Each structure stands twice: as C-alpha cells, then as structure tokens.
Amino acid sequence: MSLRLIFMGTPDFAVPTLLELVAHGHEIVAVYTREAKPAGRGMKLQPTPVAREAERLGIPVFTPKTLRTPEAEVEFRSHEAEAAVVVAYGMILPQNILDVPPLGCFNLHGSLLPRWRGAAPINRAIMEGDAESGVMVMKMDVGLDTGDVAMAERLAITDVMTALDLHDALAPLGADLMVRAMGALERGRLSLTPQSEVGVIYAAKIDKAEAKIDWSKPARDVLRHCHGLSPFPGAWCEVPIEGEAVRVKVLRCELAKGSGTPGDVIDDQLTVACGDGAIRIIDLQRAGKQPMKANEFLRGTPMKPPVRLS
C-alpha cells in the first residue's frame, strides 16, 4: 500500500525526503516549489533543487506565486491527494489549503519544537550554544510551527559543527523520519501530541547585520557564532592587509589556548584572542575570493602579533 501525496519543498534540505518517499512506493502526484530565480553569470532562471529532482522523476511541478486564490485551491484539490508533505517550502499554507487533503498536511521541521519555531532553526541552535538539535514531523495548522507533533529524532551538536554540517546531518535523518511517519499514517497508527507552550523560542531569519564578529565575547560564543553562520552569510571581521582593512569571513574555527586583548592575533597560526580564551581560524574567505584553509591564506598573507582583527 502507499499514500497519494503532494510534496511541497524548495531547497536541498527537502530533496532527501522527496527521494525517500518515492523510494518507499508513495505516489507523489504533484510537487509544489518556489519559482525559478535568475542566478549565475548569465543570470539565467535556475529551478529549485526540488524542482530539478521532480522533473528528473517525471513528477508534475507547480510554482504558484500564492496559495491564497480560489484558483490555487481548485488546482490543489484537483490532485486528489490523501495528504501533503511539506519540507522548507517557503510559503505559508492558508487554512483552506490545509483542509484539502483528508489526512492532513505534515511538515518536517529542523528543530526540537517548540524551541526554534520559524525560519532559521539550524543556524540559531548552533549560535545559541544548544547541546542538541533534531527533526520533527508535525501536523500543520495555521500557526507558525505550532502543530501537533507526530515523531522526532534528536542529534547532538558539537563545537566542530557548522550550520552546513548540521543541515547535511539533519536532511537524511528527517527523510527517514517522514517516511516512517507516512507509513504510520497509512496504517492509521500515527499518534499526535500537542506542543508544550513552555520553552517556545522563535528562530528569526538571519540578518546580515548580526554577522560581524564580536571578539569581546567568550571564545566558545565566538566559535558558535561563526559556525552558526557558516557558510552563509558568514560571520566576518576586518583584517589589516597591506595597509587596508579587508573583510574576511571565518567559516570554521576551533577553541585554542591563549589570551590577550580581544581581536589580537596571538601567534603565527591565526589564533585570535577573545574576551575569555581564544579561537584558531581553520577556514576563511576573503571578500570576492574562494574559501580557503588558514594555512593557505598565511602563505600569502603572514599574520603575526601585534596584528589586530576588528
């Protein structure tokens, strides 16, 4: 047996779930994703990662600008799906759309709800120093990630993890979780638990204005800030190079021994003093350049005390 499903998703994070649902025999009758956007040197229209996979699989793709019109509802109903699976779709589903599939609409969310409802749960979990993250399947309602939870998987966050690392670990974990949830739904055995109203925190969209590194903070806070914003938009500081202040993103770092005035480079290995302790920069990216290892950077741009990053 299998379910007749609508799949709604946009970025790379959603692709493993789409592929796993297909691999487990569910009938994906339509894929909804965001419109193609211009990108690259020629600014050609680029379909979303989910659209590319759906087209490869021969699944019809729909890219409505809004779901709030009568026409959008008629089209959604025409698929005669039993349920909808939503993974980082990027568009709010109004109540009339949520009511269409008889078994409901189910969202895969990259946090341990009710902590980190909203747009950037992966980044915020790292930036705030959380010890763990995870994925949850919830039955959607009109609130922002407020629906009843069906299933969850947890994952430890270590100090070596960047946002990309955590993203890449949660995506397949979530795909497996959603397949299990749809299997239970198909058998009529999917149980739902209301979310607690205790511990609700919203994961606001990342603002580029918060990306500047504050070296006065403790070393672990600086590390988590850098890793939570890596690779995009990238936590940055200004590095004095040939008499100019050059913006450099810190993509990966590690805790290191040493101390000094915050922002001071305290050795020749790009160890930087923080408000308490120090970090050593491992991967970085100069403005307009490709990411590189710190030792590569140092070969062309030696950094020794008394250099200060700001």
Average pLDDT over residues 279-296: 95
The pLDDT of 119-141, averaged and rounded, is 97
What's residue 1's pLDDT?
Answer: 67
For 247-256, write each residue's pLDDT tens digit: 999 999 999 9
CB 273 within 8 A of CB 258: yes
Residue 43 pLDDT class (50, 70, 90 cuts): confident
pTM for this entry: 0.94
Residue ranges with strand state E in 35-148 = 37-39, 44-46, 61-62, 83-87, 105-109, 115-118, 132-139
Is the per-residue pLDDT at 40 higher than 80?
Answer: no
Supply the mean pLDDT for the chain.
Answer: 96
171: pLDDT strictly greater than 80: yes
How far from each other are the two terminal CA atoms of the chain, in whole angstroms? 60
Residue 111 assigned to a binding site: yes
Taking only the tens place, the pLDDT of each residue in 75-115 is 999 999 999 999 999 999 999 999 999 999 999 999 999 99
**112 marked as binding residue:** yes
Give the span between the Cα atoms of 75 and 133, in whole angstroms.
Answer: 36
The reply to whether 113 sits in an annotated binding site is: yes
Q: Using one digit for the tens of pLDDT, what is the confidence trace for 202-232?
A: 999 999 899 999 999 999 999 999 999 999 9
Q: How far is CA 47 from CA 95, 117, 118, 171, 279, in A?
A: 27, 27, 24, 20, 39
pLDDT band at 302 (very low <50, low <70, confident <90, very high): confident
Domains and CATH numbers, the chain: 4-202 (3.40.50.170), 208-300 (3.10.25.10)
* Percent of the chain predicted with pLDDT > 70: 99
